[in-house]
Chains A and B, each alone.
Chain A
Amino acid sequence: MSMNTQGRPTAPAAVSTPVIDTVSGSRGLLQREDLLFEIGTPETTGVDLPTPRGLKDRLGGVKRKADTGLAGLSEPQAVRHYMRLSQKNYAIDLGLFPLGSCTMKHNPRLNEKMARLPGFADIHPLQPQATVQGALELIDELATWLKTLTGMPSVAMSPKAGAHGELCGMLAIRQALIARGEGESRKRVLVPESAHGTNPATAVQCGFIVDEIKADKRGRVDMADLKSKLARTDDIAGIMLTNPNTCGLFETDIKDIADLIHAAGGYFYCDGANFNAIVGRVRPGDLGVDAMHINLHKTFSTPHGGGGPGSGPTVFSEALAPFAPVPFVIKDEDSFFRLVEQTEGAAKDSFGRMVAFHGQMGMFVRALTYMLSHGADGLKQVAEDAVLNANYIQARLKHVMTPAFEGFCMHEALFSDAFTADGIETIDIAKALIDEGYHPMTMYFPLVVHGAMLIEPTETESKAELDRFCDALESIARRAAQGDETLKGAPYLAPAKRLDETRAARKPVLKWTAPLPEQIAAE
């Protein structure tokens, strides 16, 4: 035989794992990464440019006198910096992302392929409309899908995020009240205490006064409290309600709520952040909703961190449709797709314009691709699977954690911290999840549940993946119930240890300053 005499060991030796403090600060492939200012210095440069000659200084007295102080880095230094940071990121493409109220679902790669077609990707919003008929038709087609899925007659496509869509809806309500001559008298907007923080913020931004409605013991709107708030009706502008609500529960009284608000002369704004739980199954228009934003970047894939940016088209009822913003696409008699951009003619009652152009084209393409590739039956199954997955998590963990409310949930499972031993808090459980390789769930929200843990698995996850996640969380929950103090120090395996949020909030350091020479010498 011919023999290879290198003798390189190819199996691990039987030694116990020592605690390794590396010299570099890196941990294997998880490299330690400093700030750009700590890597480079203002004295060095990554690019050699010739000194400009013959340039006339036209800046006069405003020309910089000092250096910019920016760190000079070579291209590989800069590339490695961002590559290393990106490897510390958590994304839906890496694993289950249980962030409640965020619908972090998989973003199909087909979406990306379609969004990159030159006819969509390489066009300019100021191009002549005759040269972008395909793009305008796509916006119109997507609008038709959104109107069909919500059972609403009108949609504004331009809002660029969920909260922007809320603003769109509330501005339309304000405009409708002004048109009725009640813009000054109807200022009160009812908002449940479990609402997303953006709801009251939007109402205040539009000049309304927020009146909070309590939740009942079932985690839903307290009807008695709602009726007491409606004892006076002549100042009611409307209600802002999320359905399913932020406790992951369907507001079973929603029809009665809508009727009460309408009888009081107000409008019903529905926060559509949780539309994923009911898409294809329930049409908000049938529930008496007057306006609702739809997060294309959640319900129809491309979650933030998975392809973003946001897009928040807002649907309107007959009552609010005339007040919707411009621009919108209409199809002329000769099948020409035209943008209505002025507040005249068909848009004479519009409250105006919210964005410079026509909305997030890339998101429109991705959302329509998602809809067409799923089909009507597929979208219905999305909602069913999302609800099934959340209920599976609730069922698997309810023996070790405390479900916030009795009964089935919708698309997210909500637990309180009642099961934890004294001294162990929700944040300790969330941080321990990082050591297990998961992004933490939404914590301390909604505010109506003490130490809330809100878990939304979405339909993306398989049973096997849900089981892996539940195994990890179950083990942490048992340690929390037993008062395992080591949880207070988690995460142990992350690039950064537990941060001092109190100090960061009380004494924020917003600017990097170079260490003084004596500090460097001391090190």
Chain B
Amino acid sequence: MTIYYTKDHEWIRVEGDTGTVGITSYAAGQLGDVVYVELPETGAKFARGDDFAVVESVKAASDVYAPVSGSVLEVNSALSEAPEKVNDAAEGDAWFVRVKLTDSGELSGLMDEAAYSAYCEGL
């Protein structure tokens, strides 16, 4: 099990050929209080970089991009009722979707935790 990060502040936790995707705590902090999360349908297919969800804070609405290509196995529908979970546990309970990876080779283009921390400090 490995966690990867994108420059657009998504994380993906990979187990075999499935991945759990969410946004990072850094992103949640920058967004401010999250008030709405729009999730895709189960079965939806995305290419890497496609916007697959929307997260809305009081300040702004932001697209969430797919860190890898894949199809949606499950969505965290609890976020629709309780968007504040994104602020409380962005990298835990507040995952957005579980996906089946199309090409695990895409993971090599992502950052590990240390690289992502360094990236955020440079922002």
Q: Which residues of A contact B (CB under 8 A)?
A: 444, 447, 501-502, 505-506
Q: Chain B residues near A501 (CB, 8 Å)?
A: 33, 58
Q: Chain A residues near B84 (CB, 8 Å)?
A: 506
Q: Chain A residues near B33 (CB, 8 Å)?
A: 501-502, 505-506
Contact A505 B36 (CB under 8 A): yes
| Complex A-B, nearest 4 residue pairs according to Cβ-Cβ distance, in ascending order | A505-B35, A502-B33, A501-B58, A506-B35
Instruction: Count how many pairs of residues, one from A and one from B, have CB atoms less than 8 Å apart in the complex.
Output: 18
Q: Chain B residues near A444 (CB, 8 Å)?
A: 59-60
Q: Does B70 contact A (CB under 8 A)?
A: no
State A444–B83 Cα separation when bound (angstroms): 22
State A400–B87 Cα separation when bound (angstroms): 32
Contact B60 A505 (CB under 8 A): no
Q: Chain A residues near B35 (CB, 8 Å)?
A: 502, 505-506
Contact size range, B: under 10
Q: A331 to nearest B CB, angstroms?
A: 47
B:49-84 near A, CB below 8 Å: 56, 58-60, 83-84
A-B contact pairs, 14 of them (CB 8 A): A444-B59, A444-B60, A447-B60, A502-B35, A502-B58, A505-B33, A505-B35, A505-B36, A505-B56, A505-B58, A506-B33, A506-B35, A506-B36, A506-B84
- Secondary structure at chain B's binding surface: helix, strand, loop or mixed? loop
Q: Chain B residues near A502 (CB, 8 Å)?
A: 33, 35, 58
State A444–B58 Cα separation when bound (angstroms): 11
Q: Which residues of B contact A (CB under 8 A)?
A: 33, 35-36, 56, 58-60, 83-84
State A505–B31 Cα separation when bound (angstroms): 14
State A418–B74 Cα separation when bound (angstroms): 40
A502-B33, A502-B35, A505-B58 given; 15 more Cβ-contact pairs under 8 Å: A444-B59, A444-B60, A447-B60, A501-B33, A501-B58, A502-B58, A505-B33, A505-B35, A505-B36, A505-B56, A506-B33, A506-B35, A506-B36, A506-B83, A506-B84
Residue of B nearest to A506 (CB): B35
Q: Chain B residues near A505 (CB, 8 Å)?
A: 33, 35-36, 56, 58
State A121–B60 Cα separation when bound (angstroms): 41
Which of B35, B56, B83 gathers the greatest number of chain A CB atoms within 10 Å? B35
Q: Chain B residues near A506 (CB, 8 Å)?
A: 33, 35-36, 83-84
State A505–B58 Cα separation when bound (angstroms): 7
State A501–B56 Cα separation when bound (angstroms): 13
State A505–B34 Cα separation when bound (angstroms): 9
Q: A258 to nearest B CB, angstroms?
A: 29
Q: Chain A residues near B36 (CB, 8 Å)?
A: 505-506
Q: A191 to nearest B CB, angstroms?
A: 14
Q: Chain A residues near B60 (CB, 8 Å)?
A: 444, 447
Q: B64 to nearest A CB, angstroms?
A: 15
State A323–B83 Cα separation when bound (angstroms): 46
State A506–B36 Cα separation when bound (angstroms): 7
Q: B54 to nearest A CB, angstroms?
A: 14
